[in-house]
Amino acid sequence: MRLTASWIALLQLVFLELVSASAPILRPRQYDTREYYALHLSPDAIPQDVAGHLGLEFEGKIGELDHHYLFSGPKSDSDVVSEYRRRRKSKRDAGANDDVILFAEKQKVKQLEKRIPHPPILRRSAPLVRASHDPNLLQRFQEISEKLDLHDPIFHEQWHLFNTVEKGHDVNVTGLWIEGVTGHNSTVAIVDDGLDMYSDDLKDNYFAEGSWDFNDPGPEPKPRLSDDRHGTRCAGEIAAVRNNVCGVGVAYDSKVAGIRILSKQISDADEAVALNYAYQKNQIYSCSWGPPDDGRSMEAPGILIKKAILKGINEGRQGKGSIFVFASGNGAASGDNCNFDGYTNSIYSITVGAIDRKGNHPYYSEHCSAQMVVTYSSGSGDAIHTTDVGKNQCYSGHGGTSAAAPLAAGIFALVLSVRPDLSWRDLQYLSMDTAVPINTDDGMWDKTATGKLYSHRYGFGKLDAYAIVQAAKTFQPVKPQAWYKSPVIMVNHEIPQGPKGLRSEIEITKDMLKEANLARVEHIQVHMNAKHGKRGDMSVDLVSPKGIVSHIATKRDLDNSAAGYQDWDFMTVKHWGEDGEGVWSIIIRDTEVNEYTGSLTDWSITLWGESINADRAGPHPLPGEEGHQTATERPTSTAKIMTTDIPSSWAHDHAQATGNPTDHPTRPVNAKPTSTNVSGSAPTAEADEDKSGFLPSFLPTFGVSAKTQAWIYGSFVVIAAFIAAVAVYLVKQRRKQKAREDGMNYEFEALNNDDLEEGAPRVQGQAGAAAGGRRKARDLYDAFGASDDESELFSDDEDNDDHEKGYYDDEAARGLDESSKGRDGDREKLLGRQHR
């Protein structure tokens, strides 16, 4: 009897192995009538047996996740797996030891609502564009077309590939095509709402093996809903065939797969399968969606999705790592920031923002310290011209950061076509190394420790296809990844309201980094817990030992949540290349003086980077796996804390003014804690005396205290404040000067009547576009239901912006130089991912 059971078990195991070696099992889901449970089982468990015990049906393996299976049962409010586990636990307590369920999650379905459909695009007509062609560029364009035998009818409209009007505002790809670098042997998967594989412009480059429809399960991700057009348009940007239909893709000989997930409800388990789908063949996953960009959401992928992303990084592309490209988000006009989106602020994704055909920052493209690069999309009266759903259909209004991410993905396809051996991190190095800073005079750029420029708005700059591929040809792959994870620093201290911030520090020594096998820093994550009555009032800066400042969390006026930051990971790429050694500090602020107050509970920092010794490096364990430590499992230490008068805008503007941030220490030398766990968290008189750790204000301390440390602190702050004031004053003067020079154009130029663009639905407010620049911008904004608070951001009074407030304010900064603003006020409360 026992023997038979074992045999059956063995056969089942063999069967499962066979099945999992081929395509994943993807049975149609019935979310209306059934519940789905994702289980991580111990390796020796037989899922069919487990199903029997639970009274559930076995649905199959969850993609590439080892020992993860999906089960289903009839619709019910209860969680039958939890109940089962509870019952077992009470038995186990009585002696039984049979817990084969390592993790279980009842699946919630998210209706993957798309972004509100954009109104029809009133595109400015082709003759208008042609009227301003530069004759030299036009001639060059014709030569290139002839040389490449390129006769696609809308190629001449594809300014993002070769701009014959605004010189240099394209991805600089044609030189590569002439060299023969066109994307051969590269494959990009479009994770979206489908892909029209029967389009004459796509069918020759369609990669069926890498494609799947998760919404209407089956191998063909065909667009079915009337607005399932987004994925096809993205695919066209990458791999539209060089033929006589529409235009061409940036990598027009690459292959493109469609993974359809955005058109119906989907669970985390299915999304996890999707992000690893055919991950040995699909090299790049282009993702133009995410949590709502409403300026108040703060959502991260669920644990199954996190596991899948890391699985793809560790094992996808024969271990070199899947390339995940994410659009930064379209919520900038709502004050959103891509560090509040767990997909874009993942270290495993390359976050791509947008610039428009004039190289301007479009009103929608989000800022954040996790942003790597930008590339072209809609704005300044035009959009991306690409393939549409249909046999021979083109589209001239593709836009938002949605259109920027696939363009980047296509450029990465060109890179991989010459260097398929490069790792996911190599590609990030290349992006950073070759990105071209743009609009460097707009006051948003800082020098990093390695001498590169970085902007929270543009990342390291715009992608240049030619430059990145040339650099890739000789790129020396970097050593495997290593990481240093700090203890959790327990703070439990209120955040002062007003311009002061609460500062907390940790010192990381050379020995700690050596022990962690970490040679130099790449990404940095700050894990945080903070409580607040209005989350959007808080902002956080990270200051490195080299004095580089990342604005890891920004104020968000629309974020009224009382949930605070809960186990949130903020991320920054700005410290790339630093050695990591020294004191790292965070400064958390609550600049709005109101009834909503908050406190910082705890934080920890992870330095991710290149290993010293490749042999000692290994892949990072998946969440829930042996060796993986959640933040709550890390050792803790008590914090040394202090309030600080130093506004981060100082560091920002100062660096801008001098061009050398490392000349200036950003923290008082004596504030360095002797260890990370100095004394208790509450500010006591003792702490005050001890190391001037708690300074209520710099003035009382300065000169009053006999203690040298306090004196140093005081003088430092005075000097810093003075330099900051001068720097800010100079920058202001320059901005004003520039605003004067630019006259009304500055705010204005994009407000002409033919400026409707995708992602910029102008419901009203168009009519009066000819009147008064700034006022216009505000009217336009108001027309979309903005609160009074926000319209202040666009007020005429420049002196009312960030420096007076004493903190860095994305929104105020944004208000200074945007060429257009508009907002869809009809924001629904969206539950799922949104199109970008």
Which residues are annotated as catalytic? 192, 230, 402
Pairing of strands 284-287, 68-74: unpaired
Out of 155, 466, 568, 794, name the contact with ligand NAG by CB under 6 A. 466
Residue among 500, 493, 444 nearest 717 (CA)? 500
Q: Minimal distance in Å, beta carbon 609 to ligand NAG?
A: 25
Range in contact with ligand NAG (rule: CB under 6 A) among 209-217, 254-262, 464-472, 658-666: 464-472
Q: How far is CA 797 from the centre of its chain?
A: 32
Q: Between residues 506 and 657, which has the closer beta carbon with respect to ligand NAG?
A: 506
Residue 519 lies near ligand NAG (rule: CB under 6 A): no
Reference 438, options 155, 166, 742, 724; nearest CA is: 166
Residue 670 found at the interface with ligand NAG (CB under 6 A): no
Contact flag: residue 243 with ligand NAG (CB under 6 A): no
**Which window, 187-195, 345-353, 463-471, 725-733, contacts ligand NAG (CB under 6 A)?**
463-471
Put the strands of the sheet holding 582-590 in their side by side order.
Answer: 549-553, 538-543, 582-590, 501-508, 641-644
The answer to the question of residue 637 lying near ligand NAG (CB under 6 A) is yes
Taking CB under 6 A as the criterion, the residue among 294, 464, 557, 811 binding ligand NAG is 464
Cα 737 off chain centre by: 34
Q: Which residue of 111, 675, 745, 753 would you call a contact of ligand NAG, by CB under 6 A?
A: 675
Site string for ligand NAG, 304-343 (x = CB under 6 A): ----------------------------------------
Of 85 and 672, nearer to ligand NAG (C-beta) is 672
Query: Alpha-carbon distance 238 to 240, whole Å?
Result: 6
User: Which of the stretches 445-453, 460-468, 686-694, 792-800 binds ligand NAG when contact is defined by CB under 6 A?
Assistant: 460-468
Q: How far is the CB of 681 from ligand NAG (least distance, A)?
A: 13
Question: What mask of x and - would describe binding to ligand NAG in positions 155 to 174, judged by CB under 6 A?
Answer: -----------------x--
d(CA 142, CA 149): 10
Q: Is 550 in the site for ligand NAG (CB under 6 A)?
A: no
**What minimum distance in Å lies between the beta carbon of 793 and ligand NAG?**
34
Residue 468 C-beta: closest distance to ligand NAG, Å: 9
**What residue type is assigned to position 467 of the chain?**
A
C-alpha–C-alpha distance, residues 247 and 148, integer Å: 13
**Alpha-carbon distance 532 to 560, whole Å?**
10
- Here's the x/- map for ligand NAG, 421-450, by CB under 6 A: it reads as ---------------x--------------
Q: Pairing relation of β-strands 349-355 and 323-327?
A: parallel
CA 1/CA 329 separation, integer angstroms: 59
Q: Measured between alpha carbons, how far is 816 from 736 in angstroms, rounded to an integer?
A: 10
Minimum CB distance to ligand NAG smaller for 280 or for 677: 677
Three-state DSSP class for residue 333: helix
- Beta strands 212-213; 255-260: pairing state: parallel
Query: What is the size of the binding site for ligand NAG (CB under 6 A)?
Result: 11
- 622 alpha-carbon distance from chain centroid: 20
CB of 466 to ligand NAG, least distance (A): 3
Among residues 6, 125, 139, 185, the one that binds ligand NAG under rule CB under 6 A: 185
826 vs 695: CA distance, rounded Å: 46
Contact 101, 85 (CB under 8 A): yes
Site string for ligand NAG, 118-157 (x = CB under 6 A): ----------------------------------------
Nearer to ligand NAG, 262 or 414 (CB): 414
Question: CB under 8 Å to 633, separation ≥6 — which residues?
Answer: none
> Contact between 467 and ligand NAG (CB under 6 A)?
yes
- DSSP H helical segments within 419-482, as ranges? 424-434, 465-473
Rounded Cα distance between 252 and 265, Å, is: 32
For the CB of residue 464, give the shortest distance to ligand NAG in the complex, in Å.
Answer: 5
User: What amino acid occupies position 320?
Assistant: K
Q: Shortest distance, CB of residue 283 to ligand NAG, whole angstroms?
A: 12
Mode of pairing for the β-strands spanning 34-41 and 453-455: unpaired
Interaction site with ligand NAG (CB under 6 A): 172, 175, 184-185, 436, 464, 466-467, 637, 675, 677
